[in-house]
Amino acid sequence: MKIAIANQDGDVAAHFGRCPSYTIIDVEDGRVTQRLEVDNPGHQPGFLPRFLAEKGVNCIIAGGMGPRAQNLFADQGIQTVTGIQGSIDDVIEQHMAGRLQAGEDMCGHRHGDGPDGGEEHAPPNGSVSARAGTRICISSKGRDLNAAVDPRFGRAPFFMFLDPVARRIEVLPNPHSDDGQGAGIQAARFLSDKNVSILLTGQVGPNAEQVLKESGIQVVTGVEGRIRDVIQKFAEEVK
C-alpha cells in the first residue's frame, strides 16, 4: 500500500492540488516501511492523478477534492480520502490504527465538473467563503493597510496575503511587476506557488485568469479602495 498525503507545513492541506508537497508512505504488514516528501509539480487539470499513479500511489489523503478529480483518481485505481485535518504524523498514526474517517470537504471553494478533470469554482461575484485553509491575496500599491488596491493585477508592485481565519497578513513584492509580456501569467503562477485561494483585484487579463482558474484560485475583480477597507468588507465572510 502506497499512500500520498497532501502536505501543507506538516499538516494535511485543505486542497489536494495546491499543497506544496506530498508525504508518501509505503505500508507493509501494518507498518510504515518508507516515507518521503515529493514536491507538487503543479496543479494542472487532470495531471496529478496520473503523476501520483506513476509513483505507485494507490490512496490519497487530503482536506478536500472535487468530484471530477475523485473520478479521475478512481480511473487510475487510486482511493481518495477527503475531509481530513490535523498533522501528517497524527493522520498516519490514525490510519495505521484503522481510526481514520473521511469528513466534510475542507476546500474553500465550490467544486464542479471542469474540463479535463479540472475544477470549476464559484464565479467572481464578490462573494468570498473564508474557512480554515483559505488564503486571500490582494493586489496592492503599497506595503501597509492604508495602501490602495492596485487595479493592475500583473503590474501591481505588491501582493498582500491574508489568512482571514488566523488574522495574519503578509506583504511580498510582485517579482514580475516589471516583466515584459506575460507579467500577468507569471504573477498568476507566483500566487499558485503561494497557495492562494482567492484573488481580489481590479482587473485580470484573460490569459492570466485562465492560469489562476486552472490553479484553483477564485478571481474577484472590480475591487477598489484602501486595503484596510477591503479587508473589513470581506471580514463578514469569516464565520
How does pLDDT run across 73-95, given as a tens digit for each residue?
888 999 999 888 889 999 999 88
- Report the C-alpha gap between 219 and 205 in whole angstroms: 11
- Mean pLDDT, residues 129-138: 68
pLDDT the model gives residue 124? 36
- Report the C-alpha gap between 234 and 239 in whole angstroms: 11
pLDDT the model gives residue 45? 63
Range with the poorest average pLDDT among 100-109, 123-132, 217-226: 123-132
Domains and CATH numbers, the chain: 2-96 (3.30.420.130), 121-235 (3.30.420.130)
CA 41 vs. chain centroid, Å, equals 13
Tell me if 200 sits within 8 A of 140, measured CB to CB. Answer: no
- Report the C-alpha gap between 95 and 11 in whole angstroms: 15
Here the cell at position 50 is 496520473
Residue 132 has pLDDT above 60, yes or no: no
Per-residue pLDDT band at 171 (split at 50, 70, 90): very high
The terminus-to-terminus CA distance of the chain in angstroms comes to 39
179 secondary structure, DSSP code: -
Phi, psi of 160 (to 5 degrees): -105, 120
